Structure 1
Amino acid sequence: MAESAPAATEQAVRAALAGVIDPELRRPVTELDMVPRVAVDGDRVTVGLELTIVGCPAATRIEADVRAAAASVPGVGAVDVEVGVMDRATRDALIARLRGGKPAMPFTADSLTRVIAVTSGKGGVGKSTITANLAVALAQQGLRVGLVDADVFGFSIPGLLGIPEARPTRVGEAIMPPRAHDVAVISIGMFVDARTAVSWRGPMLHRTVQQFLTDVYFGDLDVLVLDMPPGTGDVAISVGQLLPHAEVLVVTTPQRAAADVAERSAMVARQTGQTVIGVVENMAGLAQADGSVLELFGSGGGAETAARLEVPLLAQVPLSIALREGGDEGRPIVLEADDPAGAAIRALAQTVAARGRGLAGRSLPFSPR
């Protein structure tokens, strides 16, 4: 005679629910106080599920995952999920706990998060394309990556990552960024119409960048990547003030004129205390069918810039039709296995990740005796 299945218990159900991850907060729902009650009556289980806000974009997915997890417990025959919304006090307490009492600016010099600002002296060199693909390539290595589109006037990151219609979610005083290819992303393009021209002066630009760094909840990051605007204007100065410990990648093309201008953005970064870690030469050449390379934009600009700045030339990314098409379609080229440009950016990501975080600007746990 077959043995009957063991009776389900509240403890067993909660253990199963601990495997359900909130897709925005990236934590188990049980840890986020989203499951205030579990009731077991014979083989029927009732789960109280409280979402963080009304209209939570992940509500359907979370409810389905909770139902499936509870149903997977031996002895459970039916599952009822009663969906509600947290009251303000519970939500505020949750956000405060997630922030962990950290200062308003979480990305300080003492933070474990590396900050990498990708800059260029002029527009049109493919800086945003390199930034978007670098962020995705870093995430492919298993790193927790955030991406801030600080190019307020020329925002393009949402389109490059295939999320032009994405909008962040506000939970209390915190802003939850959308995710694309396992990268948490924030951009002014998520708050304005894509055809809107943003024409702000310095104070508004500074406040926007500051809000992206303080009010957006990225969670625990290994790397925060910033897509900087070209040139040496207000945003570059603000980022230098807010993130003086950031590491800077300079993007240029092989053209000597572009290389001369690229050097200026690096000089401004150094004036604010940031560390220039290397140069990336984009549009380095177009491979031909006979194996030759057509150098449409000349050659040597990246190496010349690197030599002047006394930093390494970290990558030479070739011209690629697939890279351009991927940008238009919101499909990062690093997801393609056989494209030379994607391979070059993946190698760049490996180099950047292997470099590690320096100690400059960080307080050490030592005291003089």
Structure 2
Amino acid sequence: MSHLSVIQEQQESKSKIAHILAVAAGKGGVGKSTVAVNLALDLKRRGLKVGLLDADVYGPSLEQMLPEGMEPVEDSENPEKLLPALTFGIPFISVAHFKKEASIVRAPIANALMEQFLEGVEWGELDVLIIDFPPGTGDIQLTLMQKAPISAAVMVTTPQKVATLDVRKAMQLFQNMHIPIMGVVENMSHYLDPNDVKICLFGEGGGKALAKEFKVPFLGEIPIDPAISASADKGEALFEAHPESVGVKAFSVLGEKVMEGIAQLSKNSLTVRQKDSFHLEVEIEGEWKALSLHEIQKNCPCARCAQREEKKLDPEVSLLEFSPVGRYAIRIAFSSGCKQGIYPFSLLKTLA
């Protein structure tokens, strides 16, 4: 059994989470938490087992948007674990469950909290865990990206340029961390007057422009709908309280596109194993194909390898170990000393 298979089995038995989606913006005030909650509700009504993690230590808001339910409790079968809160049948955890007043927390403590939420909570079997990312591109965001095997990110923006500037930075961070971006959704896109005339209060086209720039799908427009705000303030499910609202229709479109994205993530997954000291194997359409470690290292993105001349790369380089990075890539430690390179499954398929 390969090193990768062993690690994957350990991770799966530990978390039992099929996919982790980040809902992020890099900026506060764009309605990211509103999108996270209603996306979770839509995916649940489609039959998926969904969990929610509120990663905003300094301004948690998901607890307000969801009705009161079972509070987090210690797992009687494993005292080192915490059972998450449960509301609308969705397991959910937030700093707000433990600290009601303003959070004055330095970054190292905030990072430790995130690690505890990821590793110390018994999420059970989930199809999707949605992480409501905090605004910004700092320590907490990096901790989440490094510690959580994130499958993809859903980016939230509003139409105006001042919002897209910060969302662009967040998208660049996800790309630098080799986390796929599922697409961009534009929140507060427009308002429909009583005659169904679209009024763009905050400009127009910012979300589509970002999606085009980064060559990712545009996942849709969420309108300004009083029903969305009212449901969030009252802790009600939008889909139950206002089933005919334009907000429900918009989030249904978003949910459908995210379902398509999840299906594509599953198609893009790859089984990798070690053939011998000098080769890996990947399974493509039921057939195992060998990959030379020398050829793989020639494509290493790390600075050390990029500065080397190709002729100086050891053709007899061998494998020390390899491990998964999220569910989209592997990291390889070579006998040459290189161990920083991340190799997306898409690249391995190209080399096969």
TM-score normalised over the length of structure 2: 0.70
Q: Deviations over 1:57-76 (max 9, x none)?
A: xxxxxxxxxxxxxxxxxxxx
The aligned counterpart of 1:62 is none
Aligned residues of 2:153 and 2:180 also touching (Cα < 8 A): yes
Deviates more, 1:131-140 or 1:238-247: 238-247
How big is the alpha-carbon RMSD for the aligned residues of Structure 1 and Structure 2? 2.1
Q: CA offset at residue 364 of structure 1?
A: 3.3
Q: CA offset at residue 323 of structure 1?
A: 0.5
For 2:215, the aligned partner's letter is: E
C-alpha spacing 1:103/1:343, structure 2 compared with 1 (3 Å): same
1:275 aligns with 2:180: yes
Residues in 1 aligned to 2:156 and 2:13: alpha-carbon distance in whole angstroms: 27
1:290 aligns with 2:195: yes
Q: CA offset at residue 305 of structure 1?
A: 1.1
C-alpha spacing 1:104/1:233, structure 2 compared with 1 (3 Å): farther
In structure 2, the residue corresponding to 1:222 is in which secondary structure? strand
The aligned counterpart of 1:319 is 224
In structure 1, the residue corresponding to 2:189 is in which secondary structure? coil
The aligned counterpart of 2:72 is 168
Q: Deviations over 1:155-184 (max 9, x none)?
A: 011110122x85201021211111111211
1:341 aligns with 2:247: yes
C-alpha spacing 1:299/1:128, structure 2 compared with 1 (3 Å): same
Q: Deviations over 1:67-93 (max 9, x none)?
A: xxxxxxxxxxxxxxxxxxxxxxxxxxx
C-alpha spacing 1:114/1:104, structure 2 compared with 1 (3 Å): closer
- Give the alignment partner of residue 98 of structure 2, picking from 191, 207, 211: 191
C-alpha spacing 1:210/1:359, structure 2 compared with 1 (3 Å): farther
Residues in 1 aligned to 2:91 and 2:102: alpha-carbon distance in whole angstroms: 24
For 2:171, the aligned partner's letter is: A
In structure 2, the residue corresponding to 1:113 is in which secondary structure? strand
The aligned counterpart of 1:364 is 272
Q: Within 5 Å, which residues of 2 pair with 1:46-195?
A: 102-103=10-11, 106-107=14-15, 113-163=18-68, 167-171=71-75, 172-193=79-100
Aligned residues of 1:105 and 1:214 also touching (Cα < 8 A): no
Residues in 1 aligned to 2:165 and 2:194: alpha-carbon distance in whole angstroms: 32
Residues in 2 aligned to 1:112 and 1:187: alpha-carbon distance in whole angstroms: 18
The aligned counterpart of 1:54 is none
For 2:111, the aligned partner's letter is: H
Aligned residues of 1:255 and 1:298 also touching (Cα < 8 A): yes
The aligned counterpart of 1:36 is none
Tell me how many residue pairs correspond in the alignment: 263
C-alpha spacing 1:176/1:322, structure 2 compared with 1 (3 Å): same
- Mark the structure with the bigger radius of gyration: 1
Residues in 2 aligned to 1:339 and 1:366: alpha-carbon distance in whole angstroms: 53
Query: What is the percentage of aligned positions where both structures have the same residue?
Result: 32
Structure 1 runs, 4 residues or longer, greater than 3 Å off: 101-107, 358-369
Residues in 1 aligned to 2:13 and 2:111: alpha-carbon distance in whole angstroms: 14
The aligned counterpart of 1:17 is none
Gaps of 5+ in 1: 1-100
Residues in 1 aligned to 2:150 and 2:92: alpha-carbon distance in whole angstroms: 21
The aligned counterpart of 2:144 is 239
C-alpha spacing 1:184/1:245, structure 2 compared with 1 (3 Å): closer
Residues in 1 aligned to 2:246 and 2:59: alpha-carbon distance in whole angstroms: 27
The aligned counterpart of 1:19 is none
C-alpha spacing 1:210/1:105, structure 2 compared with 1 (3 Å): farther
- Give the alignment partner of residue 260 of structure 2, picking from 329, 354, 359: 354
The aligned counterpart of 1:57 is none
Residues in 2 aligned to 1:155 and 1:292: alpha-carbon distance in whole angstroms: 35
- Give the alignment partner of residue 262 of structure 1, picking from 139, 160, 167: 167
Aligned residues of 1:236 and 1:269 also touching (Cα < 8 A): no
